[in-house]
Amino acid sequence: MTFSIVARDPQTGAFGVATATGGPAVGSLVPHARAGVGALATQGFTNPLYAPDGLAQLALGEGAQQVVDALTQADVEVHKRQLIVIDAKGRTAGWSGSGLTQHVGLHLEDGLAAAGNLLAADTVVPAMVDGFRAERGPLELRLLAALRAGEAKGGDARGIRSAAILVCCDQPYPAIDVRVDLSLTPLDDLETVLQSTRTGEYAEFFAALPRR
């Protein structure tokens, strides 16, 4: 139903999540991150409780695998879930339940994890990883490149109708929290919003936000 990527920027320590799906408002439930703590994407038949519980555990210093184990072991419908987590050290872990709709993909490496279900092809998740690596811009643009690469291989088997990118740097609020909740061209729309926050008429406003 959804394909997502989580990553940690080794230069800045920022955490980012990008996600796209065939349904509306994917940004409301799937992507989650906290500065200095980590990030996760909860999808499949989404369990939104994975987000507050998982981030709380990461904030206590638990590793990505510990968090995935704790969340999935406590969930009686874990066979329906898909989850990827990255912790403060950049370690990743993930889960894909047996009840997810094919095609299902999961990729884990230090600093980067990607996953998807109800995909058009097995090549979607590997393409996302390649797209992320090929982009040399800031983290949000690398995340967008990953979504575009996944879409180019078919993405969600139903097509995509919503997408979101979330980036947390060194402040208690997100540096980037961009969502397109329903569109025939969500990735194009997502890029338009990103450009507006980075170089458009609102860039000065975002650059002047208070910092701790």
pLDDT of residue 87: 98
The whole-model pTM stands at: 0.96
Alpha-carbon gap, residue 103 to 27, rounded angstroms: 22
pLDDT of residue 193: 93
pLDDT of residue 2: 97
The domain segmentation of the chain, as residue ranges, is: 2-207
Q: What is the CATH number of domain 2-207?
A: 3.60.20.10
Q: Is 51:71 a contact under the CB 8 Å cutoff?
A: no
CA within 13 Å, CB half, 36:
6
**How far separated are the first and last CA of the chain, in Å rounded?**
38
Q: Which of 176, 42, 182, 174 is nearest to 100 (CA)?
A: 42
Q: Is 197:206 a contact under the CB 8 Å cutoff?
A: yes
Q: What mean pLDDT value characterizes the chain? A: 96
Q: How are beta strands 15-21 and 38-44 bridged, if at all? A: unpaired
Segments of the chain scoring below 50 in pLDDT: none
Q: Which of 191, 117, 124 is nearest to 152 (CA)?
A: 124
CB atoms within 10 A of CB 12: 13
Q: Is 22:10 a contact under the CB 8 Å cutoff?
A: no
pLDDT of residue 5: 98
Question: For the segment 29-80, what is each residue's pLDDT rounded down to a tens digit?
Answer: 999 999 999 999 999 999 999 999 999 999 999 999 999 999 999 999 999 9
